[in-house]
């Protein structure tokens, strides 16, 4: 992965603003505000290891903008976490919430750690320790975390419990993506993958895609990637390649996705397998690298791992005419330019992976109202939002001859801009004298 130094990733992220502002109704003052995160917290977390030793770890929480509501965004555990990355991810959250029209701003958190090297008890102590450090910075009406890379419902449950202990009251709405018995929402687990799936279903109608003839490669077989694979496979799409951090597999005839998921859950490995019940048979399939996966001759490429995977170096070799970005920021601005000018359609991350935050919003609403919805209701509401926004952005991009990414940022900027202006900008005061 290309790692950008210093503030590079954040600067790249906000670099999208100026181009998109040409198509948005936004005051220059409001645009300027979005180039600066509202608040940044860096913490040191003492972690007591199982052998009794102490490790000091660094964590972050960044609140980018709260003009449209409390800030919202996941917490990532990864050895490559940097402040610039967390700032970029928080900025994307601001835009994402605006793209799908939910009343939140953007935030993100992270801990620089190798989570796979921790035991479950160490992971729990770390998660609770992080919350003790950031407890005054987050809250159900200020900033609401959620899962991201290498964090999951179990981690969210520990975090909610720790926050509730600090507040001396039950606070389910402080965090989303929780286990269902702790106030989690039905349908949150697969919401990110499902949102991307709904985008592809809309594209299917517009471009008359035939699922059985549509080959899809997915980089990243974690929470988001594997649910997208499962839903697309269920509809007859051919999932010809998947990968995880250790590498990938490729079979031009397509995989039996439920078997891949079963095997991955059991062994943590991505292997070309066919399972009957609990008996799995590993079959011949070409092992490929993550780099090779991106360059396969497929109809849809889904990056669902980390940022900066598609760069100026591999973009000219990418053959997929459609890219659906489940990962946040998988395409660098340089690669975006190359792919867009070669005619590829990129469904941008701030729309394609917005299913997660949308159902997180539903979870927060349910926690606050105390009334819980059945899974089908969650899915139906999600589908309506994603289909509506997908079609609006696809329409805007065709009408104005701009990329879907520019359309998405323009849409986000108009919505955020209206909120910032309504709170008072120089133009607002001049016009309301
Ligand atoms: P996850 O931890 O469940 O899975 C991450 C996957 O990426 C794993 O399969 C891992 O092996 C793989 N991976 C890690 N490093 C890799 C590398 N260098 N090359 C290829 N694969 C690699 O995380 P997730 O929740 O599925 O998140 C994946 C992406 O989706 C991230 O960019 C995340 O920000 C984004 N996203 C997730 C959610 C959500 O609700 N989970 C919501 C929006 C966006």
Q: What is the CA 244 to chain-centroid distance, rounded? A: 16
220 with 366, same domain: the answer is yes
Overall number of domains in the chain:
2
Give the C-alpha distances (Å, rounded to integers) separating 20 from 46, 98, 378: 42, 14, 32
* Residue 48 within any structural domain of the chain: yes
- The finding on whether 304 has its CB within 6 A of some atom of ligand 1 is yes
Atom of ligand 1 nearest to the CA of 326: 30
Instruction: With beta carbons less than 8 A apart as the criterion, state whether 171 and 177 touch.
Output: no
- The finding on whether 224 has its CB within 6 A of some atom of ligand 1 is yes
Ligand 1 centre distance from Cα of residue 326 (Å) = 8
* Gap between the Cα atoms of 412 and 397, Å rounded: 14
Atom of ligand 1 nearest to the CA of 89: 34
- Which CATH number characterizes residue 126's domain? 3.40.50.10860
175 with 51, same domain: the answer is yes
222 with 285, same domain: the answer is yes
191 with 277, same domain: the answer is yes
* Residue 298 within any structural domain of the chain: yes
Predicted local confidence at residue 60, as pLDDT: 98
Question: What does the DSSP 8-state code read for residue 310?
Answer: B
Task: Please provide the distance, in angstroms rounded to a whole number, between the alpha carbons at the two ends of the chain.
Answer: 53
- The finding on whether 244 has its CB within 6 A of some atom of ligand 1 is yes
Predicted local confidence at residue 426, as pLDDT: 67
Predicted local confidence at residue 285, as pLDDT: 74
* Gap between the Cα atoms of 140 and 133, Å rounded: 16
Give the C-alpha distances (Å, rounded to integers) separating 239 from 250, 272, 348: 9, 12, 20
Count of other CB atoms within 10 angstroms of residue 266: 12
Count of other CB atoms within 10 angstroms of residue 426: 11
Predicted local confidence at residue 429, as pLDDT: 64
Helix (H, G, I), strand (E, B) or coil at 398: helix
Tokens of 184: 């989690």
345-347 and 247-250 strand pairing: unpaired
- The finding on whether 308 has its CB within 6 A of some atom of ligand 1 is no
- The finding on whether 340 has its CB within 6 A of some atom of ligand 1 is no
Ligand 1 centre distance from Cα of residue 203 (Å) = 23
* Residue 33 within any structural domain of the chain: no
Ligand 1 centre distance from Cα of residue 222 (Å) = 5
156 with 251, same domain: the answer is no
Phi, psi dihedrals of residue 323, rounded to the nearest 5°:
-125, 125
Question: What does the DSSP 8-state code read for residue 329?
Answer: S
- 162, 182, 202 — which closes off a domain? 182
Give the DSSP H or E segment for 252: none
Instruction: With beta carbons less than 8 A apart as the criterion, state whether 199 and 324 touch.
Output: yes
152 with 284, same domain: the answer is no
Catalytic residues, which ones?
A: 108
144 with 279, same domain: the answer is no
* Residue 3 within any structural domain of the chain: no
Predicted local confidence at residue 268, as pLDDT: 87
- 161, 182, 203 — which closes off a domain? 182
- The finding on whether 220 has its CB within 6 A of some atom of ligand 1 is yes
* Gap between the Cα atoms of 54 and 47, Å rounded: 6
* Residue 236 within any structural domain of the chain: yes
Strand order in the sheet with 71-78: 39-48, 54-65, 105-112, 71-78, 143-147
Pocket probe for ligand 1: among 73, 265, 292, 305, the residue whose CB has the most ligand atoms within 8 Å is 305
Ligand 1 centre distance from Cα of residue 327 (Å) = 6
169 with 203, same domain: the answer is no
- The finding on whether 150 has its CB within 6 A of some atom of ligand 1 is yes
- 123, 153, 182 — which closes off a domain? 182
Question: What does the DSSP 8-state code read for residue 432?
Answer: T
124 with 235, same domain: the answer is no
297 with 416, same domain: the answer is yes
268 with 359, same domain: the answer is yes
Ligand 1 centre distance from Cα of residue 169 (Å) = 33
- Which CATH number characterizes residue 345's domain? 3.40.50.720
Closest CA to ligand 1's atom 8: 222
* Residue 158 within any structural domain of the chain: yes
Residue range of the domain that includes 63 = 38-182
196 with 338, same domain: the answer is yes
List the beta bridge partners of residue 184: none
Closest CA to ligand 1's atom 14: 245
pTM of the model: 0.93
Q: Of 92, 156, 104, nearest to 352 (Cα)?
A: 92
Tens-binned pLDDT, residue by residue, of the chain (433 aa): 444 457 888 998 888 888 889 998 888 888 999 999 999 999 999 999 999 999 999 999 999 999 999 999 999 999 999 999 999 999 999 999 999 999 999 999 999 999 999 999 999 999 999 999 999 999 999 999 999 999 999 999 999 999 999 999 999 999 999 999 999 999 999 999 999 999 999 999 999 999 999 999 999 999 999 999 999 999 999 999 999 999 999 999 999 999 999 999 988 889 888 888 778 888 877 899 999 999 999 999 999 999 899 999 999 999 999 999 999 999 999 999 999 999 999 999 999 999 999 999 999 999 999 999 999 999 999 999 999 999 999 999 999 999 999 999 999 999 999 998 888 766 766 676 5
- The finding on whether 147 has its CB within 6 A of some atom of ligand 1 is yes
Ligand 1 centre distance from Cα of residue 148 (Å) = 7
């Amino acid at each position: 992965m290309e790692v950008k130094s210093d503030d590079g990733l954040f600067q790249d992220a906000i670099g999208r603003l100026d181009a998109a502002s040409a198509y948005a109704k936004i005051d220059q003052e409001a645009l300027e505000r979005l180039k600066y995160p509202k608040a940044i917290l860096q913490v040191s977390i003492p972690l007591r290891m199982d052998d009794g030793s102490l490790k000091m770890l660094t964590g972050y929480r960044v609140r980018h903008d709260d003009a449209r509501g409390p800030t919202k965004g996941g917490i990532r555990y990864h050895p490559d976490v940097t402040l610039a990355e967390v700032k970029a991810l928080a900025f994307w959250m601001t835009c994402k919430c605006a793209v799908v029209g939910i009343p939140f701003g953007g935030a993100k958190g992270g801990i620089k750690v190798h989570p796979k090297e921790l035991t479950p008890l160490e992971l729990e102590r770390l998660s609770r320790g992080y919350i003790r450090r950031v407890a005054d910075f987050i809250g159900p009406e200020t900033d609401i975390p959620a899962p991201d890379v290498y964090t999951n419902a179990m981690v969210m449950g520990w975090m909610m419990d720790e926050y509730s202990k600090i507040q001396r009251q039950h606070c389910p709405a402080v965090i989303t993506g929780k286990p269902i018995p702790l106030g989690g929402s039905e349908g949150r687990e697969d919401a990110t993958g499902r949102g991307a799936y709904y985008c592809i279903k809309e594209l299917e109608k517009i471009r008359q895609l035939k699922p059985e003839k549509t080959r899809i490669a997915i980089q990243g077989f974690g929470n988001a990637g594997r649910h997208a694979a499962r839903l697309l496979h269920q509809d007859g799409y051919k999932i010809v390649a998947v990968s995880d951090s250790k590498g990938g597999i490729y079979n031009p005839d397509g995989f039996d996705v439920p078997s891949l998921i079963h095997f991955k859950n059991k062994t943590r490995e991505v292997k070309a397998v066919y399972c009957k019940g609990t008996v799995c048979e590993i079959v011949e399939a070409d092992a490929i690298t993550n780099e090779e996966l991106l360059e396969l001759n497929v109809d849809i490429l889904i990056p669902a791992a980390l940022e900066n995977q598609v760069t100026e170096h591999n973009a000219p070799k990418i053959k997929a005419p459609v890219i659906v970005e489940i990962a946040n920021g998988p395409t660098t601005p340089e690669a975006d330019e190359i792919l867009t000018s070669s005619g590829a359609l990129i469904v941008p991350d701030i729309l394609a992976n917005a299913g997660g935050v949308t159902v997180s919003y539903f979870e927060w609403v349910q926690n606050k109202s105390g009334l819980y919805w059945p899974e089908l209701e969650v899915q139906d509401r999600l589908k309506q939002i994603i289909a509506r926004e997908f079609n609006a952005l696809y329409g805007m991009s065709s009408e104005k001859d701009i990329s879907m990414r520019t359309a998405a940022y323009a849409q986000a900027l108009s919505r955020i801009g209206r909120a910032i202006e309504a709170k008072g900008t120089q133009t607002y005061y001049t016009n309301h004298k």
